[in-house]
Structure 1
Amino acid sequence: MTVRLSSSNLAKLPSKVSGPKYDRSSLKAGIVHFGVGNFHRSHQAVYLDDLFNTGLGHDWALIGAGVFEGEKAGRARLEAQDWLTTVVEQDEGHMSARVTGAMVDFLTPGDAAAIIEQLADPAIKIVSLTITEGGYFIDPASGKFNPAHPDIVADAQPGAVPKTVFGIILAGLVRRRADGIVPFTVMSCDNIPHNGHVTSDGVIGLARLIDEDLANWVRDNVAFPNGMVDRITPATTDRERGILANDFGLEDNWPVFCEPFKQWVLEDHFTAGRPPLEKAGVQFVKDVSPYELMKIRILNGGHATIAYPAGLMDIHFVHEAMQEPLVRGFLAKLERDEIIPTVPPVPDTVLEDYYQLIERRFSNPKIGDTIRRLCLDGSNRQPKFIIPTIADRLKAGKGVAGLALESALWCRYCFGTTDSGAVIEPNDPNWDRMQATAKAAKDAPGAWLAMDDIYGDVGRSPVFAQAFAHALNVLWANGARETLTRYLAGQL
Structure 2
Amino acid sequence: MKTSVALNQENLNIMPPNVKTPSYDRDKVKTSIVHIGVGNFHRSHEAYYTNELMERYGILDYGICGIGLLDYDRKIYNILKDQDGLYTLITKELDGSLSANIIGSIVEYIFAPENQIAVIEKMTNPDIKIISLTITEGGYNLNEATGEFDFSNPVIIEDMKNPMSPKTVFGYLAQAMKLRMQRGIGGCTIQSCDNIQGNGNVAKKSLLNYVEKAEPELISWIEENVSFPNAMVDRITPVTVASDIEKLQEEFLIDDQWPVVCEPFIQWVIEDKFANGRPEWEKVGAQFTDNVVPFENMKLRLLNAGHTVLGMLGALHGYKTIDEAARDQDFSTFLRAFMDQEATPTLGNLGDINLEQYKMSLIERFQNIYIKDLVARICLESSAKIPIFLLTTVKAQLQADKHIERAAFIVAAWCKYNDGVDENNNTYPIEDAMSNELIRMAALSHQTPIRFLEIEPIFGDLVNNKTFVDAFLSSLEMLRSKKVKDCVKEMNEKLA
Q: TM-score normalised to the size of structure 1?
A: 0.98
Judge which range, 212-221 or 315-324, deviates more: 212-221
Q: Secondary structure at the match of 2:101?
A: strand
CA distance in 1, matches of 2:260, 2:324: 21
- Mapping 1:447-458, distance limit 5 Å: 447-458=451-462
C-alpha distance in 2 between matches for 1:211 and 1:251: 46
After TM superposition, give the deviation of residue 322 of structure 1 in Å: 1.3
Look up the match of 2:444.
440
C-alpha separation in 2, matches of 1:220 and 1:459: 41
Question: Does residue 397 of structure 1 match 2:384?
Answer: no
Quote the Cα distance in structure 1 between the aligned partners of 2:270 and 2:171: 25
SS in structure 1 at match of 2:185: coil
The 2-side partners of 1:78 and 1:36 are apart by 10
What are the within-5 Å matches in structure 2 for residues 464-475 of structure 1? 464-475=468-479
Give the distance between the partners of 1:225 and 1:60, measured in 2 at CA: 17
Aligned residue among 95, 99, 102 for 2:102: 99
2:76 to 58, 74, 77: 74
User: Is 1:382 equivalent to 2:386 in the alignment?
Assistant: yes
Is 1:22 equivalent to 2:24 in the alignment?
yes
Q: 2:164–2:175: 8 Å Cα contact kept in structure 1?
A: no
Match of 2:43 in 1: 41
Paired AA for residue 18 in structure 1: K
**Aligned residue identity for 2:46:** Q
Matched letter for residue 96 of structure 1? S
Match of 1:216, SS?
helix
The one-letter code sitting in structure 2 at the alignment partner of 1:221 is: N
Q: Which runs of 5+ in 1 are unaligned?
A: none
CA distance 1:442–1:491, shift in 2 (3 Å): farther
The TM-score normalised by the length of structure 2 is 0.97
CA distance in 2, matches of 1:431, 1:17: 43
Once the two structures are superposed, residues 307-344 of structure 1 have per-residue CA deviations (whole angstroms, 9 ceiling, x without a partner) of: 11110111011111112111111111111111111111
| 2: CA distance, partners of 1:318 / 1:73 | 26
Corresponding residue of 1:140? 144
1:331 aligns with 2:335: yes
Which residue number in structure 2 is paired with residue 161 of structure 1?
A: 165
Amino acid paired to 1:37: G
Shift in Å at residue 489 of structure 1? 0.7
Letter matched to residue 108 of structure 1: F
Equivalent residue runs for 1:286-305 within 5 Å: 286-305=290-309
Question: Are positions 1:357 and 2:361 aligned together?
Answer: yes
Match of 2:211 in 1: 207
Supply the distance in 1 between the matched residues of 2:206 and 2:4 (Cα, whole angstroms). Answer: 46
Q: Distance in 1 between matches of 2:209 and 2:163?
A: 18
Does 2:264 correspond to 1:230? Answer: no
Deviates more, 1:159-168 or 1:469-478: 159-168
Looking at structure 1, the residues matched to 454 and 207 of structure 2 have their Cα atoms a distance apart, in angstroms, of: 30
Q: SS of the counterpart of 1:425?
A: coil
**What percentage of residue pairs aligned between the two structures are identical?**
35
Whole-Å separation in 2 of the counterparts to 1:70 and 1:211: 28
Q: Check conservation: 1:306, 1:330, Cα contact below 8 A.
A: no
CA contact (8 A) 1:66 1:165 kept: no
Aligned-partner Cα distance in 2 for 1:79–1:60: 20
State the alpha-carbon separation in 1 of the partners of residues 83 and 66 from structure 2: 14
Aligned AA for 1:401? E
SS at match of 1:173: helix
1:313 and 2:355 equivalent?
no
Aligned partner of 1:412 in structure 2 is 416
Shift of residue 220 of structure 1? 2.0
Deviation at 1:292, TM superposition (A): 0.6
Q: Give the Cα separation in 1 of the matches to 2:495 and 2:120.
A: 59
**Does the 8 Å contact 2:163/2:175 carry over to 1?**
no
**TM-aligned CA deviation for residue 159 of structure 1:** 4.8
Q: How far apart are the structure 1 equivalents of 2:153 and 2:222?
A: 21
- Determine the C-alpha separation between the residues in 2 that align with 1:479 and 1:161: 51
Tell me how far 1:251 sits from its aligned partner: 0.9
Say which SS state the counterpart of residue 477 (structure 1) adopts.
coil
RMSD: 1.4
| 1:478 correspondence with 2:482 | yes
Q: Which residue of 2 aligns with 1:366?
A: 370
- Indicate whether 1:268 and 2:286 are aligned: no
Aligned length, in residue pairs: 492
Aligned-pair CA distance for 1:345: 2.0
Q: Assess if the C-alpha contact under 8 Å between 1:144 and 1:198 holds in 2.
A: no
